[in-house]
Structure 1
Amino acid sequence: MTPKELKQILQALVEHGVNELTLETPDYKLTVRRGGEVQVVSVPQVQVPMLAAPPPEVPAPTPPAPAAPVEKPQVQTEAPDDCPGCVEVRAPIVGTFYRAPAPDAPPYVKEGDRVEKGQVLCIIEAMKLMNEIESEVSGIVKKILVENGEPVEYGQPLFLIQPV
């Protein structure tokens, strides 16, 4: 599979809201879970010549432990005690956090700004794709929890927004 084909598969997952996909060929098995991990298992094609004696037994590899169930992305939850009533906006994907659309552009939002539901708050870059993260509530940005250019994990809190 080429990187271009993999990129097309990942784009289709995001565009269609698919959370899991498994693709199996004679050469490999690919399982992709949104918010989870990507696992590629290669099955090499081996030709064994005829031997006079049977080959020595090789212990079979132990199968990997079953993956934990993938949770639905948590875009928002109630915030901790430091901002009562605030809503946490969480990272729906793993990637790099950017506050602005370009290095020389002003940030989408600053602390104290009023935002509307659906307004872009930031970008998370994942595999060279720029994913706009939108506000799920109207309110005031009380705190930005991540610095520009920092890597973020799935489910990591990004913003605290006080609904109005």
Structure 2
Amino acid sequence: MDLKDIQNLIKFVAKSGASEVKLEMEDIKITIKTGSEKTETTILQQAPMGMSQMPMAAQVPQAPVQSEVSADTAKAEESKFIEITSPIIGTFYRKPSPDKDVFVEVGDTVNPNTVVCMVEAMKLFNEIEAEVTGKIVKVLVEDGTPVEFGQPLFLVDPS
């Protein structure tokens, strides 16, 4: 397993919402722990035969995506938007079925009764309504990914 595979694994785990993932293969053990703002990865790899049998450990921190200035600007812009949050834990779906169109797109106007997505929990598909009036500005969750209670799903501009 090379560094690029490990980095892709870290990104996948961070997006999935899992708090800890352990992967053990013949010659490598990987533990990835995610918290609210940081991802910690410990990699223990067995040395090839003939070399010292001491395990090798490496820390691979997740680099911040934005600089502090642009993050503050983005937070200020997003503060005027209303979040549509998930009322339950489950799997987020933007479409009523795989062969149908998405419920809402960025730029669509919604009202309190507009269905914006579905969250599947224990084989039950729950339609999630906007509960606000405005325009969809951003979709915050990818289709088919797990969501938590209270997790923001959409940003709506109420103006």
Q: Distance in 1 between matches of 2:133 and 2:126?
A: 20
CA distance in 2, matches of 1:144, 1:133: 14
Which has the greater radius of gyration? 1
Which digits, 9 at most, give the CA deviation of each residue in 1:25-47, with x for residues without a partner? xxxxxxxxxxxxxxxxxxxxxxx
| Cross-structure match for 1:99 | 94
State how many pairs are aligned.
86
Q: Secondary structure at the match of 1:85?
A: coil
The 5-angstrom pairing of residues 152-163 of structure 1 reads 152-163=147-158
Please list, as runs of the form range in 1=range in 2, the aligned pairs for 1:3-152 lying within 5 A after superposition: 80-152=75-147
- Cα distance in structure 1, aligned partners of 2:91 and 2:76: 27
Tell me which protein shows more helix as a share of its residues: 2
Give the Å deviation of 1:82: 3.6
Identity, % of aligned pairs? 52
The offset of 1:81, in angstroms, is 2.6
List gaps (5 residues or longer) in structure 1: 1-79
The structure 1 segments of at least 4 consecutive aligned residues displaced by more than 6 Å after TM superposition are none
CA distance in 2, matches of 1:116, 1:88: 14
Q: TM-score, normalised by structure 2?
A: 0.52
